[in-house]
C-alpha cells in the first residue's frame, strides 16, 4: 500500500494499548476491593462485579459499602479534619505530591479508566488524566494561598461527595482537590459502574503520605450515596442526573448541610451561517462523540442557521460516517463502548421512539460489548422529546433557525442551563449572543474546553455551584464568624378590639411600581407595643407572588443596565431616605417599641451607599487558562430573587438583602418583616421618587410561613433567600427541589454576612471561553 493509498482510504490498522499494567495492578490488589477508610483498605465485604463494557469481562470485585462503612468513613474524616485544616503549606505539598503521582502513573490510570468505563484510550490518556493532575496542581496553589487570599474564609468541615460514571477520575479530582485545598476532609462515593480509578487513587493517597482519614472512598450503588447524603457531614457535592440531584436537595433540606449540584444538560451547539463550517463540524465531533456523548455538557442539540443547513448536514454526515467505533484500548478509535448494557438499552429505546430523520454512521460495530453508532436526528421540532431530554449517548439532535434572536430563543428553550457552544466568524455577534444564553459555560468557536482555573457549573435544572477557579472555592469554604439563634417575634396585639379608623390606613402591596391591593383583600392591624393602632398591613397570598414575578419579568431590562446607572439610583434612594430620616426612625420605634430607629436608618443609608459603591466594582475576571485565548468569568445577576426579610429590623431587614441584590442587577420581591411591616411599606414612597424602574423592587407584606413555600416552588423565581425568624429553612429547601433554584436560608440563626458572601449570593459566574487565532 502506498502513502497515497493510505491518504485516500484513511484505513489504518489497530494500535492497541496494552491492558497489562492495569490488569497486573488489579491482581496485585487481589482483584477484590474493600473501601478505603482511615488510610487503609478494609476487608472486602459483600461485593459486586466491575465489568469492562467493551467485552463484558469481569475486572474485579468491589465492596457494597454498609451503613457501618459509611459511618466509619465519616468518623475518620471528622477526626482528621481539624489538624488537616491547620497548615495550608502542608496541604499544598500533599496535593502537589498527588499531582506528581497522577502524572507518574498516568498510563496506568488511563488504561484502567478505559477498561472500566469504555472510553477511548486517546481520551483518557490525553484529557481525563492530564486534567485530573492539573486540578491537583492548581489546587495545591490554592492551599498555599488560602491564608493570604481568603483570610475571612474557613473550611466547611467534612464533605460527602458523590460522582457519576462518565468521568470517574476527573470528577473525583474536581471534587477532592478543592475540598482538600481548603482544609476539608472527604468521603467520596464513586459510581457503581466505575469504582476502579477511585480505588487506585486511594492507593496514590497512601503513597503520597496523605494523613489518614483525609480522603475516604466508599464504594457501592445509589443506596450508599443515600447513606452518605444522610450522614453527619457538613456538605454534599454531587454530580449526576437531575432526578437524583432533586432527591438529594429534598433529603438535605433543613439539615444545614451546604450543597452543590452539577446535573444534566441539553446544551445547544449553535452554528451561524458565517461560521467556519469545517471547524464547526470538527467541533461537533468533540461536542457529541467525545466520550460516546456520555457528557453532561455535550453539545447534544445542534441549531444550524437555515441558509447553510443542507450543506452543513451533508458535510456532517460525511464526517460522522468516517468515525471509527470500536475497542476503546485501540489508539486509533474515535468512539468507544457505552458504560453498561443498561445505558445502551436506554439510548436505543429513546432513539427508536423518535419520529425524526435518523442517520446512523454506517461503519462496523464490534459484535460484542456496548456499542452504539454515531447518530444524527434531524427534522425535529423544538418541543420533541429528544430535543428536550438528555440522551447521554452518541446521538445528536438538530433543528434550524433563521435569525440570531431565534437562535437564542431555541437555545434557551430547555429546562437545563449547563453549557453552550456558538460558532461564528463575527466576534460582535458572538459577544452579543454569549451573555444571552442561559448557561453556566459558553464556548465561542470551541467546545468542551475545561481547566482547573475556569469555573464549571450550571443554572436552572443543571444545578448550582461552580467547580474550578476562585469561584469554586466558595463551595468548600464558609465565612468565619459566629451566628446567633433567632427568636420568633410575635406581632403586638391589643385587648381593646380593633377600632375602625376614620380613614383607610391599610398599607397596600407594592408591585410593578404601583401600590396594589392584595389579591385576597385581607389585612391585619399593626399595633405598637402599648396596643395603639398604627395601621393595617395587607396580607399577600400566592397570587400576589405571581403578580410580583410578572412585574420582575417585565423589569428584565434592569439586569442589562450599567453598574454606573444602578449605582446612581441606589445613591438617589439613599438621598431620599436621608431626607426622611426622622420620620423613618420614629416609625421604626413605634413598630418595635425600641429606641434604635435612628441608628437603623443611618445603617440603612450606609448600606445603600455601600452597594451603590459595589454596583460597578464586582469585577469580572479573565482566567489564565492553558491555551491561546482566555476564559472570562462574568458575574451575572441571578434574575428574580424572592426574599423573606429579617423580622427584627423593620427597615434594615429590607435594605440589607435588597440593596446588594439590585446593585448587582437582580430584580427582587421582598416580603417585609412580618411583625413590623409598616416601615417597608413606607419605603415604597422613597422608591417611587428615586427613578427605580417599575418591577425591580416589589414589596409584599404578610405571613412568611404562608408565602415561603409558594416562593420556593415558583418556577419564575431564580433564587429564594430567607432571613425570617420563622423556622422555614427546611420547607423552603424542600420545595425548591421542584425547580432546583438556588436557596440561601438561615436555619433560624442570624449573623453579619461579609461582603464576599453577598456578592457571591447575588451573582452567578458564567465562564465564556474565547480562543484566539485564525
Pick the closer one to ligand NDP by CB: 166 or 724: 166
Residue 587: CB atoms within 10 Å: 22
159, 296, 297, 370: which is the annotated catalytic residue? 296
Longest dimension (CA), the chain: 105
Give just the sign of the alpha carbon dihedral 615, 617, 621, 622: positive
C-alpha span between 514 and 228 (Å, rounded): 49
Contact segment (CB under 6 A) with ligand NDP among 237-245, 317-325, 751-759, 762-770 equals 237-245
The distance of closest approach from Cβ of residue 472 to ligand NDP in the complex, given in angstroms and rounded to an integer, is 16
- List the alpha helices (DSSP H) in 445-538: 469-473
The distance of closest approach from Cβ of residue 135 to ligand NDP in the complex, given in angstroms and rounded to an integer, is 16
The distance of closest approach from Cβ of residue 606 to ligand NDP in the complex, given in angstroms and rounded to an integer, is 43
Pick the closer one to ligand NDP by CB: 212 or 247: 247
Out of 47, 66, 103, 241, the residue judged to bind ligand NDP by CB under 6 A: 241
Out of 101, 218, 296, 707, the residue judged to bind ligand NDP by CB under 6 A: 296
The distance of closest approach from Cβ of residue 219 to ligand NDP in the complex, given in angstroms and rounded to an integer, is 8
The distance of closest approach from Cβ of residue 223 to ligand NDP in the complex, given in angstroms and rounded to an integer, is 8
Q: Residues near 333 by Cβ (< 8 Å), separated by ≥ 6?
A: 120, 121, 122, 324, 325, 326, 327
Out of 113, 192, 286, 764, the residue judged to bind ligand NDP by CB under 6 A: 192
Pick the closer one to ligand NDP by CB: 110 or 191: 191
The distance of closest approach from Cβ of residue 136 to ligand NDP in the complex, given in angstroms and rounded to an integer, is 20
Pick the closer one to ligand NDP by CB: 416 or 723: 416
Q: What is the 3-state secondary structure (H, E, C) of 87-147?
A: CHHHHHHHHHHHHHHHHHCHHHHHHHHHHHHCCCHHHHHHHHHHHHHHHHHHHHHHHHHHH
- Are the CB atoms for 162 and 174 separated by under 8 Å? no
Give just the sign of the alpha carbon dihedral 718, 404, 399, 372: negative
The distance of closest approach from Cβ of residue 43 to ligand NDP in the complex, given in angstroms and rounded to an integer, is 21
Contact segment (CB under 6 A) with ligand NDP among 176-184, 234-242, 368-376, 654-662 equals 234-242
Pick the closer one to ligand NDP by CB: 392 or 423: 392
Out of 248, 659, 686, 712, the residue judged to bind ligand NDP by CB under 6 A: 248
Out of 244, 526, 612, 643, the residue judged to bind ligand NDP by CB under 6 A: 244
Q: Which residue is nearest to ligand NDP (CB)?
A: 225
- Are the CB atoms for 263 and 245 separated by under 8 Å? yes
252-281 residues in contact with ligand NDP (CB under 6 A) are 263-264
Is 189 a binding residue for ligand NDP by CB under 6 A? The answer is yes
Q: Exposure of 353 by Cβ count < 10 A (0-12 exposed, 13-18 middle, 19+ buried)?
A: exposed
Pick the closer one to ligand NDP by CB: 263 or 551: 263
| DSSP string for 601-655 | HHHHHHHHHHHHHHTTTS--EEE--SSSEEEEEEEEE-SEEEEEPPSS-TTHHHH
C-alpha span between 186 and 85 (Å, rounded): 12
Out of 164, 326, 404, 440, the residue judged to bind ligand NDP by CB under 6 A: 164
Pick the closer one to ligand NDP by CB: 181 or 344: 344
Task: Give the interface size with ligand NDP as a residue count (CB under 6 A).
Answer: 24
- Are the CB atoms for 732 and 724 separated by under 8 Å? no
C-alpha span between 143 and 183 (Å, rounded): 8
Query: Scanning the structure block, which residue is given the C-alpha cell 447513606?
Result: 227
C-alpha span between 204 and 186 (Å, rounded): 15
- Are the CB atoms for 116 and 337 separated by under 8 Å? no
C-alpha span between 146 and 137 (Å, rounded): 14
296 labelled catalytic: yes
Is 70 a binding residue for ligand NDP by CB under 6 A? The answer is no
Contact segment (CB under 6 A) with ligand NDP among 188-196, 305-313, 554-562, 643-651 equals 188-196
C-alpha span between 680 and 726 (Å, rounded): 18
The distance of closest approach from Cβ of residue 369 to ligand NDP in the complex, given in angstroms and rounded to an integer, is 18
Q: What share of the chain is helix, strand, coil (3-state, %, to 5)?
A: 45, 20, 40
Pick the closer one to ligand NDP by CB: 44 or 264: 264
Site string for ligand NDP, 203-232 (x = CB under 6 A): ------------------xx--xx--x---
The distance of closest approach from Cβ of residue 336 to ligand NDP in the complex, given in angstroms and rounded to an integer, is 16
Pick the closer one to ligand NDP by CB: 113 or 600: 113
Rg (CA), the chain: 28
**Cell (9 digits) for 297:** 455538557
Would you tell me the crossing angle of helices 222-230 and 67-86 to the nearest 10 degrees?
Answer: 50
Out of 162, 261, 473, 662, the residue judged to bind ligand NDP by CB under 6 A: 162
Out of 34, 118, 240, 675, the residue judged to bind ligand NDP by CB under 6 A: 240
| DSSP string for 333-374 | -SB---S-HHHHHHHHHHHHT--SEEEE--S---SSSS----
Pick the closer one to ligand NDP by CB: 248 or 760: 248
Site string for ligand NDP, 337-376 (x = CB under 6 A): ----------------------------------------
Is 166 a binding residue for ligand NDP by CB under 6 A? The answer is yes
Contact segment (CB under 6 A) with ligand NDP among 24-32, 81-89, 105-113, 157-165 equals 157-165
Is 737 a binding residue for ligand NDP by CB under 6 A? The answer is no
- Are the CB atoms for 749 and 484 separated by under 8 Å? yes
C-alpha span between 662 and 557 (Å, rounded): 12
- Are the CB atoms for 463 and 245 separated by under 8 Å? yes
461 labelled catalytic: no
- Are the CB atoms for 728 and 699 separated by under 8 Å? no
Is 87 a binding residue for ligand NDP by CB under 6 A? The answer is no
387-446 residues in contact with ligand NDP (CB under 6 A) are 390, 392
**Cell (9 digits) for 112:** 484502567
113, 123, 262, 471: which is the annotated catalytic residue? 262
Give the interface with ligand NDP as residue ranges (CB under 6 A).
162-166, 189, 191-192, 221-222, 225-226, 229, 239-241, 244, 247-248, 263-264, 296, 390, 392
Catalytic annotation, residues: 262, 296
Amino acid at each position: 500500500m502506498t502513502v497515497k493509498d493510505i491518504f485516500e482510504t484513511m484505513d489504518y490498522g489497530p494500535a492497541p494499548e496494552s491492558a497489562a499494567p492495569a490488569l497486573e495492578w488489579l491482581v496485585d490488589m487481589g482483584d477484590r476491593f474493600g473501601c478505603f477508610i482511615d488510610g487503609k483498605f478494609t476487608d472486602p465485604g459483600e461485593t459486586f462485579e466491575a465489568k469492562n463494557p467493551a467485552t463484558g469481562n469481569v475486572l474485579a470485585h468491589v465492596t457494597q459499602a454498609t451503613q457501618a462503612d459509611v459511618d466509619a468513613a465519616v468518623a475518620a474524616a471528622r477526626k482528621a479534619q481539624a489538624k488537616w485544616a491547620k497548615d495550608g503549606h502542608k496541604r499544598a505539598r500533599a496535593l502537589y505530591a498527588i499531582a506528581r503521582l497522577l502524572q507518574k502513573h498516568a498510563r496506568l490510570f488511563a488504561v484502567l479508566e478505559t477498561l472500566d468505563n469504555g472510553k477511548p484510550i486517546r481520551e483518557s490518556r490525553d484529557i481525563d488524566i492530564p486534567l485530573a493532575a492539573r486540578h491537583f496542581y492548581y489546587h495545591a496553589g490554592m492551599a498555599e494561598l488560602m491564608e493570604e487570599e481568603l483570610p475571612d474564609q474557613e473550611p466547611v468541615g467534612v464533605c460527602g461527595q458523590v460522582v457519576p460514571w462518565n468521568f470517574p477520575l476527573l470528577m473525583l479530582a474536581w471534587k477532592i482537590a478543592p475540598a482538600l485545598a481548603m482544609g476539608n476532609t472527604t468521603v467520596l462515593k464513586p459510581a457503581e459502574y466505575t469504582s476502579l480509578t477511585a480505588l487506585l487513587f486511594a492507593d496514590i493517597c497512601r503513597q503520597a503520605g496523605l494523613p489518614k482519614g483525609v480522603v475516604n472512598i466508599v464504594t457501592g450503588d445509589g443506596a450508599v450515596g443515600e447513606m452518605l447524603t444522610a450522614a453527619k457531614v457538613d456538605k454534599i457535592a454531587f454530580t449526576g442526573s437531575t432526578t437524583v440531584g432533586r432527591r438529594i436537595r429534598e433529603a438535605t433540606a433543613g439539615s444545614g448541610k451546604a450543597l452543590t449540584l452539577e446535573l444534566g444538560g441539553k446544551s445547544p451547539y449553535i452554528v451561524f451561517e458565517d461560521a467556519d463550517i469545517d471547524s464547526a463540524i470538527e467541533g461537533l465531533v468533540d461536542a457529541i462523540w467525545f466520550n460516546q456523548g456520555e457528557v453532561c455538557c455535550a453539545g447534544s442539540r445542534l441549531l444550524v442557521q437555515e441558509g447553510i443547513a443542507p450543506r452543513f448536514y451533508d458535510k456532517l454526515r460525511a464526517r460522522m460516517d468516517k468515525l471509527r467505533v470500536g475497542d476503546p484500548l485501540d489508539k486509533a478509535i474515535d468512539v468507544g463502548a457505552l458504560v453498561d448494557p443498561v445505558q445502551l438499552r436506554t439510548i436505543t429505546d429513546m432513539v427508536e421512539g423518535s419520529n425524526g430523520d435518523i442517520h446512523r454512521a454506517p461503519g462496523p460495530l464490534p459484535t460484542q460489548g456496548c456499542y452504539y453508532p454515531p447518530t444524527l436526528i434531524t427534522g425535529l421540532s423544538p418541543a420533541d422529546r429528544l430535543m428536550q431530554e438528555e440522551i447521554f449517548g452518541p446521538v445528536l439532535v438538530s433543528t434550524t433557525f433563521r435569525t440570531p434572536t431565534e437562535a437564542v430563543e431555541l437555545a434557551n428553550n430547555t429546562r437545563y442551563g449547563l453549557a453552550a457552544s456558538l460558532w461564528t466568524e463575527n466576534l460582535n455577534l458572538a459577544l452579543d449572543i454569549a451573555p444571552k444564553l442561559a448557561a453556566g459555560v459558553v464556548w465561542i468557536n470551541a467546545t468542551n474546553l475545561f481547566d482547573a482555573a475556569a469555573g464549571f457549573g450550571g443554572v436552572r435544572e443543571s444545578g448550582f455551584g461552580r467547580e474550578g477557579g476562585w469561584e469554586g472555592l466558595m463551595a468548600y469554604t464558609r465565612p468565619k464568624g459566629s451566628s446567633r439563634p433567632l427568636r420568633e417575634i410575635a406581632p403586638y396585639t391589643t385587648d381593646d378590639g380593633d377600632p375602625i379608623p376614620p380613614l383607610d390606613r391599610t398599607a397596600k402591596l407594592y408591585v410593578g411600581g404601583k401600590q396594589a391591593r392584595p389579591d385576597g383583600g385581607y389585612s391585619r392591624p399593626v399595633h405598637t407595643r402599648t396596643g395603639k393602632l398604627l395601621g393595617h398591613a395587607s396580607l399577600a397570598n400566592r397570587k400576589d407572588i405571581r403578580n410580583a414575578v410578572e412585574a420582575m419579568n417585565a423589569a428584565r431590562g434592569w439586569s442589562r443596565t450599567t453598574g454606573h446607572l444602578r449605582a446612581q439610583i441606589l445613591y438617589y434612594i439613599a438621598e431620599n431616605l436621608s431626607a426622611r430620616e426622622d420620620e423613618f426612625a420614629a416609625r421604626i420605634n413605634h413598630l418595635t417599641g425600641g429606641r434604635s430607629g435612628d441608628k437603623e436608618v443611618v445603617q440603612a443609608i450606609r448600606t445603600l451607599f455601600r452597594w451603590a459603591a459595589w454596583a460597578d466594582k464586582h469585577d469580572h475576571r479573565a482566567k489564565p487558562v492553558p491555551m491561546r485565548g482566555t476564559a472570562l468569568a462574568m458575574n451575572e445577576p441571578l434574575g428574580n430573587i424572592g426574599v423573606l426579610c429579617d423580622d427584627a429590623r423593620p427597615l434594615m431587614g429590607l435594605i440589607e438583602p435588597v440593596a446588594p441584590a439590585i446593585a448587582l442587577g437582580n430584580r427582587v420581591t421582598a416580603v417585609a418583616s412580618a411583625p413590623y411591616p409598616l416601615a417597608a411599606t413606607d419605603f415604597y414612597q422613597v422608591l417611587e421618587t428615586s427613578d427605580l424602574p417599575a418591577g425591580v423592587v416589589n414589596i409584599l407584606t404578610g405571613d412568611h410561613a404562608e408565602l415561603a413555600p409558594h416562593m420556593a416552588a415558583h418556577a419564575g423565581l431564580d433564587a429564594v433567600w430567607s432571613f425570617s425568624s420563622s423556622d422555614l429553612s427546611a420547607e423552603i429547601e424542600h420545595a425548591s427541589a421542584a425547580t432546583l433554584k438556588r436557596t440561601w436560608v438561615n436555619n433560624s440563626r442570624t449573623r453579619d454576612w461579609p461582603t464576599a458572601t453577598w456578592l457571591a449570593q447575588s451573582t452567578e459566574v458564567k465562564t465564556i471561553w474565547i480562543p484566539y487565532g485564525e
